[in-house]
């Protein structure tokens, strides 16, 4: 018998009609009861939160990380499943992955349709996640969704409503597939060395903001983030990591103040690269920013947050965001 702990955090998979719209309100036992449980699997439910994932916070994500660690402290537990809303699932899964140092799997899943929908996808996703958690080892944190298995790193929500909601745009082939009672893992993810669980007992968490570059953009919002107390900023640049000379100056000033600056791209797929000057990635890196490879905004922000929580500098951030695998063309 495989013993799996199900940590329930809410999301669409736990959502029911509230009169004007859907919101998470069902406990983990109710969500579990909607799905078949694979043969040979025993499930213990932990109700951690019951929120729409757009309400996720860094504090809650760290609470989730500690709940995962607490569950894995039991040597009889063979794996973890986390049910989570799809809006911020990619961020929570990546945070847990950065700190996950156990061979037992942590598998995130959710749903695009609410609990009880006649054509709902939650029951199938739950079954698949339990099967993955009971089967694999040494793969880090995974996402099981719509018959596919993905590594947490690089996987983002790619569809607002469709059932096939997740993927890694820079690596289109999923880590594995599910079907006919089988878990078929095609390759092992390459992950950086895990970080210690951060100590957060000494006050407020560091603020990390995201600012986007676009036509006519200037550093006003970038500077406002610093004025609001941001200790880290993710600049969502254009192309392979390009902005303007004004942004390069703002980055240099922020770095001099001790602010950690990461640069990602609003383009869905592909790595960042130092190609252009004139405010491009060449100048942003020279100003002290760190390019985030194929990580996009939400996960780049998590990498900055984890770096700050480790009381580390740009060298650690560079290690966390460096591409462990080449991106696909």
Which strand (E) or helix (H) includes residue 303? helix 297-309
The residue-averaged pLDDT of 187-215 equals 90
Q: Which of 5, 9, 86, 244 is catalytic?
A: 86
Helix then strand then coil, % of the chain, to nearest 5: 30, 25, 45
Question: Given pLDDT bands bounded at 50, 70 and 90, which one contains residue 204?
Answer: confident
The two three-digit tokens of residue 55, written as one number: 């309400």
- If DSSP codes are grouped into helix, strand and coil, which group holds residue 222? helix
The residue-averaged pLDDT of 38-54 equals 97
- Ligand-binding site membership of 86 (annotated): yes
- In this prediction, residue 199 carries a pLDDT of 82
Task: List the one residue out of 166, 5, 141, 182 whose CA is nearest residue 79.
Answer: 5
- Ligand-binding site membership of 87 (annotated): yes
Pick the CATH number of 2-185 from 2.60.40.10, 3.40.630.30, 3.40.50.300, 3.40.50.1170: 3.40.50.1170
The residue-averaged pLDDT of 283-301 equals 98
The residue-averaged pLDDT of 226-234 equals 98
> Residue 186 and residue 184: Cα distance in Å, rounded?
6
pLDDT in tens, 78-113: 999 999 999 999 999 999 999 999 999 999 999 999
- In this prediction, residue 202 carries a pLDDT of 63
The answer to whether the CB of 211 falls within 8 A of the CB of 230 is: no
pLDDT in tens, 62-86: 999 999 999 999 999 999 999 999 9
What value, to the nearest 5°, has the Cα angle with vertex 184 and ends 179 and 188?
Answer: 145
Question: Given pLDDT bands bounded at 50, 70 and 90, which one contains residue 329?
Answer: very low
Residue 86 annotated as catalytic: yes
Tell me, letter by letter, the H, E, C secondary structure of 105-116. Answer: CEEEECCCCCCC
Residue whose pair of structure tokens reads 């985030």 in the numeric block: 292
Fold held by 208-321: Rossmann fold (3.40.50)
pLDDT in tens, 190-201: 899 999 998 866
Q: Which of 12, 155, 244, 264 is catalytic?
A: 12
- Ligand-binding site membership of 215 (annotated): no
Examine domains 2-185 and 208-321 and report if their fold is the same. yes
- If DSSP codes are grouped into helix, strand and coil, which group holds residue 154? coil
Reply yes or no on whether the pLDDT at 182 is more than 50: yes
> Residue 184 and residue 149: Cα distance in Å, rounded?
9
Beta bridge partners of 33: none
Indicate the pTM of the whole model: 0.96
The residue-averaged pLDDT of 139-146 equals 98
Radius of gyration for the chain, computed over Cα atoms and rounded to the nearest angstrom: 20
Q: Are strands 182-185 and 2-10 parallel, antiparallel or unpaired?
A: unpaired
> Residue 239 and residue 249: Cα distance in Å, rounded?
19
What residue ranges do the domains of the chain occupy?
Answer: 2-185, 208-321
Question: Given pLDDT bands bounded at 50, 70 and 90, which one contains residue 328?
Answer: low
């Amino acid at each position: 018998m495989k013993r799996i702990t199900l940590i329930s955090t809410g999301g669409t998979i736990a959502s029911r009609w509230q009169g004007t719209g859907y919101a998470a309100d069902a406990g983990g036992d109710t969500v579990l009861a909607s799905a078949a449980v694979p043969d040979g699997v025993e499930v213990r439910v932990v109700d951690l939160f019951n929120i729409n994932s757009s309400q996720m916070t860094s504090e809650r994500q760290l609470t989730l990380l500690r709940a995962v660690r607490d569950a894995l402290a039991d040597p009889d537990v063979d794996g973890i499943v986390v049910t989570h809303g799809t809006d911020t699932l990619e961020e929570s899964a990546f945070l847990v992955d950065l700190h996950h140092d156990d061979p037992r799997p942590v598998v995130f899943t959710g749903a695009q349709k609410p609990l009880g929908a006649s054509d709902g996808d939650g029951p199938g996703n739950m079954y698949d996640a339990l099967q993955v958690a009971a089967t694999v080892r040494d793969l880090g944190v995974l996402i099981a969704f719509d018959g596919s298995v993905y590594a947490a790193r690089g996987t983002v929500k790619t569809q607002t409503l469709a059932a096939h909601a997740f993927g890694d745009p820079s690596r289109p082939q999923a880590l594995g597939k599910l079907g006919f009672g089988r878990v078929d893992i095609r390759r092992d993810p390459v992950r950086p060395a895990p970080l210690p669980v951060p100590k957060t007992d000494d006050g407020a968490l560091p603020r990390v903001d995201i600012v986007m570059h676009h036509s006519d953009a200037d550093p006003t919002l970038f500077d406002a983030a610093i004025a609001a107390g941001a200790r880290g900023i993710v600049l969502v640049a254009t192309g392979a990591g390009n902005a303007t000379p004004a942004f390069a100056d703002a980055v240099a000033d922020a770095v001099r103040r001790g602010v950690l600056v990461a640069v990602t791209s609003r383009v869905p797929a592909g790595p960042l690269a130092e190609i252009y000057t004139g405010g491009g990635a060449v100048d942003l890196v020279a100003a002290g920013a760190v390019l985030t490879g194929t990580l996009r905004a939400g996960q780049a922000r998590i990498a900055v947050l984890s770096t700050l929580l480790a009381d580390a500098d740009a060298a650690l951030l560079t290690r966390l965001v460096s591409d462990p695998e080449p991106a696909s063309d």
